[in-house]
Amino acid sequence: MNTAALLDALRAAVGAAHVLTDGDLSAWELDWRKRYRGKALAVVRPGSTAEVAAVVKACTALGVGLVPQGGNTGLVGGSVPDQSGEQVLLSLQRMNRVREIDAANLTMTVDAGCVLQAVQEAAAAQGLLFPLSLAAEGSCTIGGNLATNAGGTQVLRYGNARELCLGLEVVTAAGEVWDGLSGLRKDNTGYDLRDLFIGSEGTLGIITGATLKLYPQPAARVTALAALPSLDNAVALLQLAQARLGSGLTGFEVMGAFALQLVARHFPQLPQPLAASPWMVLLEQSDTESEAHARGLFESMLETALERELISDAAIAESLEQSRALWHLRESIPLAQAEEGLNIKHDISVPVSRIPAFVAEADAAIAARFPGARLVNFGHLGDGNLHYNVQAPEGGAAADFLREHEAAVNEVVYDTVVAHGGSISAEHGIGALKRDELERRKSPVALQLMRAIKRALDPQGRLNPGRTLSA
């Protein structure tokens, strides 16, 4: 490879100031969880779709692989270069314009590099809602959200990133621009290219822009906390809440007792409004009428749940502050876990109806194989998505536990997931971290179809090589 020629071409494409080769490039080369540290041939920061296309053409002409990156907040090592020093890191961060808001059509068209929170704020400034919401929203970009089909806490009502996107602009492996931006809610003119690029982790094309769905802002958001003796009851409570609140139910998060114990241990200042219980559920309701109306619906629904003995106790937030405090409790679980020490994370989903059986079986299998291991179980129960994490035994050397047992723990958890018709990656994607696991777990027919598509759209394998699928 002629590195000098490539760098010249890249500088011609985006300007010398935006081709970085020296100094500390760890902002782009080291992943969010600090598990992957790569070495880029160069970090290239195009400022427009045409510049992205020029970069792709330069790289493919010289046979160089490209790794696209948004906010670099991915959790599966999908957006940092490998260690070869031969891959170009293509950062979309400079492309951060809100191109257009069409309030009457409830759509917004944005550059891929817009930070999620900026997208939310641009919608809110028009009195509208962009509902995608997740922990990294202050740093992650909408292009990355779409490339990984991000989930988060509002999926129950609004769907994943996929369901919030009407159209895309994509630079193909050949360096051509597909203008699939569209504000249409119905368009049956040919194959669904949009959804093929969404979730493909930059391996089929590079998302440079998107048209997003907006919603009216709800008049009020109210949360409640309920204590339950079992996950069976949590599933029954979900059914009751869905029947009574319909799409007003915008959040349904479950938290295991040990997860909340860890929060109490490491963040004792956070109030926990209800006495300890095997499970807690955080419910969120969004109402188009008023806070009083939302509270009334919650009260009546939770009374029924108490009468049916689905829940043992409940509290409805009395103010926006109390609502925020409940969410803060939920969001502190991963931080409390980190304080407690290294742990083995899983981002799994099963059908909602299978959650109790899955947890019972996985808990039993982990207890039998890894005595003392502690289960930090919480997540988006309304979507069947649990963060089923395994913490090393109390007082043990966590690093040793992980080194010795991580692979075996994963095998137990994923075997149980698959036995219940579940997914080994609900919302985080595959990237580098789960690629080999995917190739073991996915059906041969599905893998064959995926490879055929990859070959068709990126015949030379230049786009995010080795991510999602092995090269």
440: left (phi over 0), alpha (psi -120 to 50) or beta: alpha
**CA-atom Rg of the chain in angstroms:** 23
In the window 286-305, what residues touch a copy of itself (CB under 8 A)?
Answer: 286, 288-289, 297
Q: Which stretch binds a copy of itself (CB under 8 A): 66-74, 110-118, 306-314, 440-448?
A: 440-448
By CB under 8 A, tell whether 449 contacts a copy of itself: yes
Compose the 403-422 pattern: x for residues touching a copy of itself by CB under 8 A, - for all others. Answer: ------------------xx
Residue 432 in contact with a copy of itself, rule: CB under 8 A: no
Task: Answer yes or no whether residue 83 interacts with a copy of itself by CB under 8 A.
Answer: no
Among 112, 155, 220, 373, binds a copy of itself (CB under 8 A): 155
Closer to a copy of itself at the Cβ: 405 or 435?
435
Q: How many CB atoms lie within 10 A of CB 313?
A: 15
What's the CA dihedral at 235, 239, 245, 248 to 10 degrees?
A: 60
Nearest of 368, 133, 170, 171 to residue 251 by alpha carbon: 133
Judged by CB under 8 A, does residue 471 bind a copy of itself?
A: no
Q: Under the criterion CB under 8 A, does residue 199 sit at the interface with a copy of itself?
A: yes
Of positions 1, 2, 102, 299, contacts a copy of itself by CB under 8 A: 102
Beta-ladder partners of 221: 286
| Stretch of residues binding a copy of itself (CB under 8 A), selected from 55-63, 81-89, 193-201, 266-274 | 193-201
Residue given tokens 């959650």 in the structure block: 355
CA–CA dist 51, 115 (Å, integer):
20
Counting contacts by CB under 8 A, is residue 453 touching a copy of itself?
A: yes
User: Least distance to a copy of itself from the beta carbon of 429, Å?
Assistant: 5
Size of the site for a copy of itself (CB under 8 A): 95
First to last CA, the chain: 19
Say if CB 368 and CB 409 are below 8 A apart: no
Element (H, E) at 390: strand 385-391
Of the listed pieces 220-228, 314-322, 329-337, 351-359, which binds a copy of itself according to CB under 8 A?
Answer: 351-359
Binding a copy of itself (rule: CB under 8 A), the pick from 185, 265, 308, 440 is 185
Task: Give the separation between CA 283 and CA 254, rounded to whole angstroms.
Answer: 9
* Binding of residue 330 to a copy of itself (CB under 8 A): no
| Residue among 191, 268, 269, 275 that touches a copy of itself (CB under 8 A) | 191
Beta-ladder partners of 169: 179, 209
Structure tokens at 370: 């890894």
